[in-house]
Amino acid sequence: MSEQSMEMSFRRWCLITGVAALVAICAPAQRLRSPWNGETVKMTDATYTCPAAPKFARTMDLDGYYTDKKYSIIDPKKLAEFNAVSSGPTHLGQYASKAADAYRTSGSRAAAECVYSLLDAAAKADAWDGKMPKLNGVYIQNWMLSGTAIAYLKVRDSGVGTAEQDEEIQKWFHLVAERVVAYFSMQREYPGSDAYNNHMYWAGLAVAADGVANNNRRDFAWGMDAYRMGADAIEPDGTLAAEMARGQRAMHYHLYALGPLIMLAEFGEANGMNLYAEDDRAIHRLVAFSTAVLDDPEAIAKRAGAAQVYSRPYNGLDIGWAVPYVKRFPKAKPSAALAAMLTQAQWTGFWQWGGLPPE
């Protein structure tokens, strides 16, 4: 699609959308915000040891590790191979998000500088921004973008980065976002594809974060539309059909889908959009269902046709999304149970959403 066609499409989208608050992103005067805008961080001289950047490449040839049609049974050998091949972009996201959180929690100038040095090096190397030969490479590319772009948003107001670094990093984010948009826009033509499950919501989060980093309203709107797809997919009982079909990992994938949806809702809130109210408050139904399942995994086992794979205490990947939810909706019915689970969690961050969730 040409730049002119994309602009015309975006303008039509702004005109026809039923979300009144989208005026905030369709109006050109207001700069897009992240959930961390407006939070004051006092700079300190706290030390931080920045890890060496991983070895960069433009693409990766990555096979999956599930062995059954439900994508629920893991082959340990294939998983080890997957982790080895994807270690570069995964480590980049982990290193950047950890450093960003160190800056947010301690004010460490060195930690903020670490984020910039890692991402600037990746941008200069065109790290993993090529067209991936296999779909698992697309997924890692997508997660890398969501993790690194959100880490960047946590430090971009620190003042440690140069104008040249910001330009390089933002350009790189947009190149990766274009890959993500191209793939998932194509997949949306095929109902039942990976554009109709949790992968789409992660794509939405990645592209929305790029949209904020670049103040690109079309990308931000694309991410918000991915949220709307997720909200539309939530059944009256709070389930997601695509994730229920994952057999023994149905519980895991409901939670895995919920994470980016909550993060997208928080990005919406930062820009004057009440996505939590979308589709008759659909996200609250998913939260209520997921909380019940966290409390009693047997509640989903019968419907999924298999005993669920899980471990306690629950941690970031499982319930990190509950941190902003409980704070925003302390009187919601699931919040008391979620708050109790959070007190048992050893960690609440997850690198694919940039580390610690917004509070």
> What local confidence, expressed as pLDDT, does residue 25 receive?
52
CA distance 52 to 118: 8
Q: DSSP code of 63?
A: -
Whether pTM > 0.85 for this model: the answer is yes
CATH number of 53-161+175-353: 1.50.10.100
Where are the chain's structural domains?
Answer: 53-161+175-353
Residues in a beta bridge with 44: 108
Per-residue pLDDT tens digits for 66-87: 999 999 999 999 999 999 999 9
> What are the C-alpha distances in Å from 74 to residues 63, 139, 249, 316?
13, 17, 10, 21
Residue type, 155: V
> What local confidence, expressed as pLDDT, does residue 26 receive?
60
In which residue ranges of the chain is pLDDT below 70? 1-29
Per-residue pLDDT tens digits for 295-350: 999 989 999 999 999 999 999 999 999 999 999 999 999 999 999 999 999 999 99
How many CB atoms are located within 10 Å of the residue 131 CB?
A: 12
> What local confidence, expressed as pLDDT, does residue 38 receive?
85
- Residue pointed to by tokens 């030969």: 133
- Written as six digits, the tokens of 359 are 């509070």
355: alpha, beta or left, given left = phi > 0 and alpha = psi -120 to 50? left
